[in-house]
Amino acid sequence: MKKLQAALTAFAFCGILFWNLTATAHAAFAGDDDPYYTIKNVQIRELNEPAVNGSGFAASRRYSAWDVGPKKPGKGGDGVDIETIVNLGKELWQFIVDNKPVVNIRTDRATALPKGVTRASELEGWMGPTLKTYEMSFENGYGLEVIDFKFRVNYTYNGSYDGQGQYLANVTIIPALVDVAWGYTFNARVAIPSVLNVGTKAAPVAGVEIQLRYSVDTVVKHYEQTYDFFVRGDGHFKEL
């Protein structure tokens, strides 16, 4: 029996070694037109899913607007300019590196707050958090799904300063699922190219453009693209 088990183990090892050598050789001699390593179709769709808290890659607790910015008590005082909107958070961060999530939910996010405040807790009337869930599917030249990527766009809206304006906090993208086939490397980052006032001077409404920048690499191909979203302080959200 021991001899039989040893023979089966050796056979399985040889099979795995042969498969790896074959795959490596195939990759080494693959041409630029190899269908397996070529992305031919990318589809994105919004999913009707409820907010997820406490599981997966989603937040382990509800996002709180009070966590944004340095922890300095008190209001901004006379120095607050409600019509000038600034980002106290980040403008660029990685959240998928070599097929793995690297998000930090406490720091990897942007804001759109009136100039002169130091943190979102100086505002009131916050609504949310709101989560929009999307799934991206990448197919190769054979029609096989080689990357399945699910993510959630998160934001908290309607914050006001002394009853004025509608601002944003906790604007981010959260990875929910990353499933990548052999021979592919997937990376993604978030960029916040603009934070602006889409309302008026008397009634400011914050607006934030969110860019999902992703890339796919194989031994013969490099593919990259950007997908854009826009969210407003009144809660309005759209794909660009």
Q: What is the pTM of this model?
A: 0.77
Q: Which amino acid is at 37?
A: Y
* Cβ atoms of 87 and 194 closer than 8 Å: no
Q: Is it the case that residue 190 has pLDDT exceeding 90?
A: yes
Identify the pLDDT of residue 76.
44
**Beta pairing class for 81-86 and 92-97:** unpaired
- 112-163 confidence digits (pLDDT tens): 999 999 999 999 999 989 999 999 999 999 999 999 999 999 999 999 999 9
Q: Is the pLDDT of residue 25 over 80?
A: no
The whole-number pLDDT of residue 50 equals 61
Question: Span 22-33, mean pLDDT?
Answer: 52
pLDDT, residue 49, reads: 72
**Mean pLDDT of the region 233-238:** 96
Structure tokens at 121: 């807790």
Question: What does the alpha-carbon distance between residue 51 and residue 162 come to, in Å, rounded to a whole number?
Answer: 30
Q: What residues have CB less than 8 Å from 115, skipping those under 6 apart?
A: 80, 81, 84, 85, 86
Residue type, 148: D
DSSP bridge pairs for 124: 160
**Both structure tokens of 68:** 């944004």
Is the pLDDT at 218 greater than 70, yes or no?
yes
89 exposed, middle or buried (CB, 10 Å; 0-12, 13-18, 19+)? buried
How large is the C-alpha radius of gyration of the chain? 23
**Residue 173's pLDDT band (boundaries 50, 70, 90)?**
very high
